[in-house]
Amino acid sequence: MTLSFANPPSKQIAPHKLAHVVLKTRDIKRMVAFYTEFLGGTALCPDDSLAFVQYDDEHHRIAFVQIPGLREKDPGTAGLHHIAFTFPSLRHLLLAYRQRKAKGIMPAWCVNHGPTVSMYYLDPEGNTLETQHDVFETIEAANAMMHSEAFAKNPIGVDFDPEEMIERLEKGESQESIAVRGDIGPRGIEGIPEAIRAA
């Protein structure tokens, strides 16, 4: 089946796997220690506000975010931050975006994290859903990116316009070149839009 942006299929394209779950925490070090022990995993902690735990063939299945001020604003707020779903290609991710857009469902944030090209949506009750495409073919390549100096400097990513990506695809540019993350310099957790940070 040819995937056309002009005439997308009427049935919503489904992701091909559940990618990861991100939890909000008030004590990131304690949570990372628990989950690495519980899962027999390893952790990557680029700073004091983000951590990624790997235990299988995914670059991370569980991640943690410690939002500045969370403890002061509401000591009881911790738990789910978002659930992520993976699409098999950038084209599938963008076509699913177009299908949702036609139904009035728009992403709250579009960002190229480096290992993934991601779009974040809010459900009717404010829960965050990430749809993503894995940029790298292998876990080794994704891990190398996540351990790079560029990722340490900017673990958040670079925002993008999905319509611009679709235009580039339709002009014949490869998915691989479109998915390469640019360099905007340092970006920390404060670079996440408030609607997503507060979710």
**pLDDT at residue 152 above 60?**
yes
Q: CA end-to-end span of the chain, whole Å? A: 37
Report the chain's mean pLDDT, rounded to a whole number: 88
Q: Please, are residues 110 and 119 in contact by the beta-carbon 8 Å criterion?
A: yes
Residue 74: predicted pLDDT: 57
Q: Domain 17-197: give its CATH code.
A: 3.10.180.10
Degrees, nearest 5: CA angle 78-84-87:
175
Mean pLDDT of the 126-142 span: 91
Q: Please, are residues 113 and 157 in contact by the beta-carbon 8 Å criterion?
A: yes
Task: Give the tokens for residue 46.
Answer: 């680029």
Q: Please, are residues 150 and 156 in contact by the beta-carbon 8 Å criterion?
A: no
pLDDT 10s digits, 1-58: 566 888 888 888 889 898 999 998 888 898 899 889 988 889 988 788 899 999 888 8
Backbone φ, ψ for residue 108 (5° rounding): -85, -20
The structure tokens 């220690």 sit at: 33
pTM of this prediction? 0.82
pLDDT 10s digits, 74-91: 555 678 889 999 999 999
